[in-house]
Structure 1
């Protein structure tokens, strides 16, 4: 008997994600939670099913029940189908550590900008900026547009990047500026706030910390108030 987990795995594979971990890390989901839904250990709540359906481009009803038979039949209209848009996949905020995905997806969770034609559209994502750790560049409430690592050139000095830090099951996603200082790659805030001045070493493992670049920022968007 086909289960929600099996349909979720099918949707994930058809969306181009080779593994549950790749999907979770790319889409800013907690891996252990997503994996438990895909392997059938836990049944996701309806709002979570809708989030998965939007991310993988399938019908939420099909994920839940297997009906309609065509996974893409009657998928709700998305704004990107008409004008082109970049999906918002999470928030970036220095010092904000979470176990579960803290960003709430909505039907209009898209930045109204066409994907940059230099990069694959499905490798581009937007992040909502929270806080002032990069306020010399972007402000609280702005969005940054980024390309997943591996789908564009490697980050170079002075690029702004999306950084994932982990301590056990906790994760922090933030923006940093990449610099080569004293013979090592370091990730700096770019802020006027004295609280956000200390760099992080790329690839370091300190006190259980793992640090990696997950995307390179290629632009920003500021909604009109």
Structure 2
């Protein structure tokens, strides 16, 4: 026997079958129908329900489609509504500032976060710290409407360059001041990198073209940052519906 069998709480087929049989009996008693009548009213052959209820040697359960037909025909809840598995291993991720998606914006980061979001672990990036930003404006609204929270991992922690199509937090440095935005990366065959806004607003359509990915992710030997660099890769977003 499997050593961890006691840890499996999923219902077995016999459990489901017995729930469905009790459910059909409730419908029969409530509406005064026979098993054949339940099947006909649900648009099925009588044998579908009759055999299921009367054949004690059968081991199958009703399909979700069959169960749904019966539930609709009699305006009742299904035999067992699917349960939502609770997620208990949430992590608290600090919201460290905001970005004006597609447009460079001052004041994107703050030293001490007073806001956190609770998110489940991301098993693609185990043990990597994540940070979050709020999105402002419509300059990236095709991907991130205003109010969206984006979660990112820093390039230094990720230890790889961004891939084609990924969305990134880009920093621009002018006169010692740093500004941030979100762009989507396109890597050309010649190695050039295009940073695209994704907006429904034609005002935000210009892309930034840079010679290579190295210019965006590698610290120069002299320790001086270039005008543009990538701070992090966006791995998740939380947005209002």
Q: Which residue among 161, 168, 188 is the counterpart of 1:154?
A: 161
User: Which residue does the alignment assign to 1:74?
Assistant: none
Deviations 1:99-131 (A, max 9, x none): x56659663x11221341332545211111111
Q: Which residue among 185, 192, 201 is the counterpart of 2:200?
A: 192
Structure 1 residues 88 and 179, CA gap change in structure 2 (3 angstroms): same
Q: Is 1:219 aligned to 2:236, yes or no?
A: yes
Listed as ranges, the matches of 1:1-225 within 5 Å are 83-93=90-100, 94-98=102-106, 107=114, 109-121=115-127, 123-152=129-158, 153-181=160-188, 183=190, 184-202=192-210, 203=215, 210-223=227-240
Q: Distance in 1 between matches of 2:109 and 2:95?
A: 13
Q: Distance in 1 between matches of 2:133 and 2:108?
A: 13
Contact 1:86/1:115 (8 A) holds in 2: no
Partner SS for 1:85: strand
Deviations 1:154-181 (A, max 9, x none): 2111111110011013222111000024
Tell me by how many angstroms 1:223 deviates. Answer: 4.7
Q: Distance in 1 between matches of 2:111 and 2:145?
A: 20
Greater Rg by CA = 2
Deviations 1:57-93 (A, max 9, x none): xxxxxxxxxxxxxxxxxxxxxxxxx842211112111
Deviations 1:168-217 (A, max 9, x none): 1322211100002473111010111111111112438xxx9711111011
Partner SS for 2:140: coil
Structure 1 residues 210 and 162, CA gap change in structure 2 (3 angstroms): same
Number of matched pairs: 138
Gaps of 5+ in 1: 1-81
Structure 1 residues 194 and 223, CA gap change in structure 2 (3 angstroms): closer
Tell me by how many angstroms 1:132 deviates. Answer: 1.3
Q: Distance in 1 between matches of 2:146 and 2:110?
A: 15
TM-score by length of 2: 0.50
Q: Distance in 2 between matches of 1:168 and 1:83?
A: 40
Contact 1:91/1:130 (8 A) holds in 2: yes
Gaps of 5+ in 2: 1-88, 217-224
Q: Distance in 2 between matches of 1:114 and 1:132?
A: 27
Structure 1 residues 102 and 161, CA gap change in structure 2 (3 angstroms): closer
Q: Distance in 2 between matches of 1:137 and 1:168?
A: 31
TM-score by length of 1: 0.53
Q: Distance in 2 between matches of 1:197 and 1:209?
A: 23
Moved over 2 A (4+): 94-98, 100-107, 117-123, 150-154, 180-183, 201-204
